[in-house]
């Protein structure tokens, strides 16, 4: 993206004017039409239901070494499966990740803008934001999308991060939002999207403090499977197409997406267990 004063390829004055470390504020001041939060519909017009792809279930849970974030792969338009391999979980920076439910096109743009926002701040200020500041910055960006949310084009992200300044055992952190930018920190686990009541119920049953990465990944896959079992908009593991949920972790070493081979092996293990216990593992007394 370049803005020229003379058409000669040189940067315009906007790039040399002192201002904020926020890339979003920079765009708002100089090229607001490039913002994804700009209304796509005329005032007073509401989006027709089920005419835009929607992403559904995402979840997060803490574990011994940090925090895990995962999502199914399905996008729907009403009763139609719009996409089977949507990526709903993305790194925001080295120690932060964001997943989303809601209007897919706007969500993907919001994620990209948030990634640039964090990188821009770090380049301008010479240091990364604190995790609390990252959470508040995303809240402000969601609030900027309020007009579109009120027109039926809502985006509901889920933010996770590793906070090295937090007490030992609480460094994996989870933040949820509402459509007006309300910010809520969640302890232990949380789920968003149409399948979240079922995924959240499964995590309530399966979560325990101090799980290792493998145990946490299996719990996430079990929760997503329960969501797909009761919510038609959530997709379970597709063994024939080899499409599996995305599972990522954030630890002291940074963001890592579990290899597909690992996710596939855990999915097969889970499905084999379900042949004996169709409703999933039972809690021990």
Cβ neighbours of residue 29 closer than 8 Å, sequence gap 6 or more: 14, 19
Provide the 10 A C-beta neighbour count for residue 211. Answer: 19
DSSP string, 210-247: T--HHHHHHHHHHHHHHHHHH-TTS---BTTTTB--EE
What tokens does 207 get? Answer: 């979560």
Q: What are phi and psi of 273, to 5 degrees?
A: -65, -35
Burial of 208 (0-12, 13-18, 19+ CB in 10 A): exposed
Instruction: Describe the crossing of helices 131-144 and 23-30 by its angle, rounded to 10 degrees.
Output: 30
- On whether the CB atoms of residues 2 and 31 are closer than 8 A, the answer is no
Name the residues annotated as catalytic: 56
Nearest residue to 65 (alpha-carbon basis) of 270, 263, 255: 255
- On whether the CB atoms of residues 53 and 83 are closer than 8 A, the answer is yes
Run of H or E residues at 84: none
């Amino acid at each position: 993206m370049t803005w020229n004063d003379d058409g000669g390829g040189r940067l315009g004055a906007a790039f040399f004017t002192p201002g904020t470390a926020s890339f979003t504020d920079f765009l708002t001041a100089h090229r607001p039409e490039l913002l994804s939060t700009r209304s796509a519909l005329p005032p007073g017009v509401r989006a027709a239901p089920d005419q835009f792809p929607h992403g559904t279930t995402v979840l997060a849970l803490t574990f011994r070494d940090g925090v895990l974030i995962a999502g199914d792969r399905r996008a729907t338009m009403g009763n139609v499966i719009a996409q089977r391999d949507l990526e709903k979980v993305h790194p925001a920076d080295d120690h932060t990740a964001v997943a989303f439910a809601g209007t897919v096109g706007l969500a993907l743009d919001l994620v990209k803008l948030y990634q640039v926002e964090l990188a821009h701040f770090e380049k301008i200020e010479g240091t990364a934001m604190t995790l609390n500041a990252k959470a508040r910055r995303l809240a402000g960006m969601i609030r900027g999308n309020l007009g579109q949310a009120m027109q039926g084009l809502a985006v509901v992200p889920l933010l996770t991060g590793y906070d090295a300044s937090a007490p030992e055992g609480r460094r994996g952190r989870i933040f949820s939002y509402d459509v007006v930018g309300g910010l809520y920190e969640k302890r232990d686990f949380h789920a968003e999207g149409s399948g979240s009541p079922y995924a959240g119920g499964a995590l309530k049953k399966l979560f325990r403090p101090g799980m290792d990465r493998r145990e946490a990944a299996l719990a996430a896959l079990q929760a997503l499977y329960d969501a797909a079992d009761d919510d038609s908009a959530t997709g379970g593991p597709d063994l024939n197409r080899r499409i599996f949920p995305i599972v990522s972790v954030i630890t002291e070493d940074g963001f890592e997406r579990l290899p597909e081979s690992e996710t596939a092996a855990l999915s097969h293990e889970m499905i084999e267990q379900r042949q004996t216990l169709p409703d999933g593992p039972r809690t021990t007394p």
